[in-house]
Amino acid sequence: MKKLKFTFHGKDFYANMLPEEAPLTCEAVEKACPFTTRWIHAKIVYNEVFCMTQIEGPTFRENPIPNLPGDIGFYDIPQAICCWHGDMKPLGAGNVFARFTPEQMAVFHEETVGMWEETGCPVVVDVVEED
């Protein structure tokens, strides 16, 4: 199984790719990886971080489901990967293409909760094979 990997603050965080639910998005993300960008804390649904990308993904939401904690979505305008974590209030549907396990989401949440004060944290995004 392929994993989406985020590396920041000297740590690696992994999420399961969802190729059955979002094959075009998974393919576009994998093709663009690895790349370096910066995290931004959105605060739109409370616990949400996103990073801008140059991914040439689908211009439609291929897996438009309500965002839940642990979900990772791709938005084509602007081109961004969004991660929802911890306590949050879903706001609409995202193009969900990857998902943290509950354990990984908890660790990711702990690391990103303070990013409101640390806008622009560098992050490396990659797709890797599960060990």
Q: What is the mean pLDDT of the chain?
A: 89
For 60-109, write each residue's pLDDT tens digit.
788 888 888 999 999 887 889 999 998 888 777 889 999 999 999 999 99
The strand pair at 71-76 and 93-99 is best described as: antiparallel
pLDDT value at position 131? Answer: 62
Residue 25, helix vs strand vs coil? helix
How far CA 35 is from CA of 39, 83, 90, 127, in Å, comes to 13, 17, 28, 10
Q: What pTM does this model have?
A: 0.92
pLDDT value at position 8? Answer: 95
* Those residues with Cβ within 8 angstroms of residue 125's Cβ, 6 or more apart along the chain or in another chain: 4, 5, 6, 29, 33, 34, 35, 36, 37, 51, 53, 81
